[in-house]
């Protein structure tokens, strides 16, 4: 009997398809299910289907939803994909397994201290303001090398670069640019691609895709 077609299966099949075209292994592409705004009732069916890697964009919301689930499922992996205030650095280090929004010197300093204090090195992506947008988080492209150097000095393990391209225009050039900046800086992980463009991101080298609405439905 065929298994039912669920959003998770459809997204996984799209990932497999893009990986095949790109001649990449699916195992090199992490699907992060972005569950922001959705309650535990919406998260449980994905866990039941085998999904273990999730992402949230707010520390406080994650603190309300995840500690109980993590006790139940010790193999859950939780990523922070939203802007992080320095005064939440200790909470973020305690709760998350990976942080995608390292984007400024003050946060390097706060996270460095929080990791040292907790004795817990949380892998981070440096978020790049790839479309040079005023309102967006992320480090300016020109400032990436200095921020990476500061993170090294603070003993923060930076594993790659992350971006959220400008809305409403073709994302591919921005994904390609992020890949180029990562390569120039000796980084091999790329957090890029969301519900509307994760296949494109995979063709351009994404190692982590952050998919919300394609899995959970539209947010209010």
Beta bridge partners of 78: 54
User: What letter does residue 195 receive in the DSSP assignment?
Assistant: T
Number of residues this chain uses to bind ligand PLP (CB under 6 A): 14
User: Interior CA angle at 212 toward 71 and 156, to 5°?
Assistant: 65
Question: Is 194 near ligand PLP (CB under 6 A)?
Answer: yes
CB 181 within 8 A of CB 128: yes
User: What is the rounded distance in angstroms from the CA atom of residue 153 to the CA atom of residue 19?
Assistant: 36
Query: What binding mask, one character per residue, do residues 25-44 give for ligand PLP by CB under 6 A, x or -?
Result: ---------x-x--------
- Report the candidate in 100, 178, 112 with the shortest Cα–Cα distance to residue 144: 178
The CB-of-82 to ligand PLP minimum distance in angstroms stands at 6
Candidates 2-10, 42-50, 108-116, 205-213; binding stretch for ligand PLP (CB under 6 A): 205-213
**CB half-sphere exposure, 105, CA atoms < 13 A:** 6
By C-beta, is 36 or 113 nearer to ligand PLP?
36
Q: Which of 11, 31, 38, 57 binds ligand PLP (CB under 6 A)?
A: 57
In the bound complex, which residue of the shown chain has the CB atom lying closest to ligand PLP?
Answer: 212
Nearest to 30 by CA among 172, 159, 158: 159
**Residue range at the interface with ligand PLP (CB under 6 A); choices 9-17, 18-26, 58-66, 207-215:** 207-215
Asked whether the beta carbons of 137 and 119 are under 8 A apart, the reply is: no
Handedness of CA 53, 54, 55, 59 (dihedral sign): negative
With residue 87 as reference, give the H or E element that holds it: none
Q: Which of 126, 164, 178, 182 binds ligand PLP (CB under 6 A)?
A: 164
Contact call for residue 165 and ligand PLP (CB under 6 A): no
Q: Residue 3 or residue 134: which is nearer to ligand PLP going by CB?
A: 134
Taking the complex as a whole, how short is the minimal distance between the CB of residue 176 and ligand PLP, in angstroms? Answer: 18
Q: Please report whether residue 195 would count as binding ligand PLP according to CB under 6 A.
A: yes
For the segment 95-134, give every residue that binds ligand PLP (CB under 6 A): none
Dihedral angle sign, alpha carbons of residues 166, 168, 173, 178: positive
**For binding to ligand PLP (CB under 6 A), which residues are involved?**
34, 36, 57, 81-82, 164, 194-196, 210-214
């Amino acid at each position: 009997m065929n298994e039912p077609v669920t959003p998770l299966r459809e997204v996984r099949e799209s990932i497999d398809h893009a990986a095949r075209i790109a001649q990449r292994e699916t195992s090199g592409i992490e699907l992060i299910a972005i569950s922001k705004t959705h309650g535990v009732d919406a998260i449980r069916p994905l866990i039941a289907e085998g999904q273990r890697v999730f992402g949230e964009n707010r520390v406080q919301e994650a603190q309300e939803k995840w500690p109980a689930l993590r006790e139940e499922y010790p193999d859950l992996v939780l990523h922070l994909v939203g802007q992080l205030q320095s005064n939440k650095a200790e909470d973020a280090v305690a709760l998350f397994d990976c942080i995608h929004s390292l984007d400024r010197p003050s946060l390097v300093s706060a996270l460095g201290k929080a990791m040292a204090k907790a004795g817990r090195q949380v892998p981070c992506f440096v978020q790049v303001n790839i479309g040079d947008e005023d309102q967006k988080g992320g480090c300016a492209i020109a400032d990436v090398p200095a921020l990476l150097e500061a993170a090294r000095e603070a003993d923060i393990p930076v594993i790659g670069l992350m971006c959220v391209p400008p809305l409403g225009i073709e994302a591919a050039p921005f994904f390609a640019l992020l890949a180029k900046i990562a390569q120039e800086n000796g980084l091999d992980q790329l957090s890029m691609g969301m519900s509307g463009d994760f296949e494109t991101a995979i063709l351009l080298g994404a190692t982590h895709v952050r998919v919300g609405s394609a899995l959970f439905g539209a947010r209010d």
